[in-house]
A and B are shown apart, each in its own frame.
Chain A
Amino acid sequence: AAESKVHIVYLGEKQHDDPEFVTESHHQMLCSLLGSEEDAHGSMVYSYRHGFSGFAAKLTKSQAKKIADLPEVVHVIPDSFYKLK
Chain B
Amino acid sequence: TTRTWDYLGLSASSPKNLLNETNMGEQIVIGIIDTGVWPESEVFNDDGLGSVPSHWKGTCQSGEMFNSSHCNKKLIGAKYFINGFLEENKSFNSEESLDFISPRDLNGHGTHVATIAAGSHVQDISYKGLAGGTVRGGAPRARIAVYKGCWYLDDLDVTTCSSADILKAMDEAIHDGVDVLSLSLGSAVPLYGETDIRDGITTGAFHAVLKGITVVCAGGNSGPEAQTVTNTAPWIITVAATTLDRSFPTPITLGNNKMILGQAMYTGPELGFTSLVYPEDPGNSNETFSGTCEDLSLNSNLTMEGKIVLCFTTSSSSGSASTAAGSVKKAGGLGVIIARHPGSDLEPCVDDFPCVSVDYELGTNILLYIRSTSSPVLKIQPSRTLVGQPVGTKVATFSSRGPNTIAPAILKPDIAAPGASILAATTTNTTLNDGGFIMLSGTSMAAPVISGVVALLKALHPDWSPAAIRSAIVTTAWRTDPFGEQIDAEGSSRKLADPFDYGGGLVNPEKAVKPGLVYDLALEDYVLYMCSVGYNDSSISQLVGKSTLCSNPRPSVLDLNLPSITIPDLKEEVTLTRTVTNVGPLNSVYRVKVEPPLGVQVTVMPKKLVFNSETKKLSYQVRVSTKHKINTGFYFGSLAWISSVHNVIIPLSVRTQVLQNYFDEN
Contact = CB atoms under 8 A, between A and B. Distances in A.
Does chain A bind chain B? yes
Interface of A is mostly: strand
A85 B186 contact: yes
B545 A6 contact: no
Interface string B542-563: 1111100000000000000000
Interface in A19-73: 19, 45-46, 48-52, 54, 56, 58, 71-72
B237 to A, nearest CB: 14
Given A45-B83, A77-B196, A85 B220 contact: yes
A73 to B, nearest CB: 8
B87 A58 contact: yes
Contacts of B81: 46
- Across chains A and B, which 6 residue pairs bring their CB atoms closest together, nearest first? A13-B545, A51-B174, A12-B542, A50-B175, A10-B197, A85-B218
Contacts of B167: 8, 46, 48, 54, 56
A82 B109 contact: no
Interface of B is mostly: helix
B430 interface: no
A50 B164 CA distance: 15
A84 B198 contact: no
Given A48-B171, A52-B203, A85-B442, A79 B197 contact: no
Q: Contact residue range for chain B?
A: 35 or more
B548 to A, nearest CB: 11
Contact of B84 (A52, A54, A74, A79): A79
A51 B164 contact: no
A25 B219 CA distance: 36
A81 B161 contact: yes
B160 A54 contact: no
B89 to A, nearest CB: 10
B123 interface: no
Interface residues of A, number: 32
Contact of A74 (B175, B447, B539): B539
A51 B170 CA distance: 8
B84 A6 contact: yes
Nearest to B419: A85
B109 A84 contact: yes
Given A51-B208, A82-B201, A12 B163 contact: no
Interface in B517-576: 538-539, 541-546
B162 A81 contact: yes
A69 B390 CA distance: 61
A77 B208 contact: no
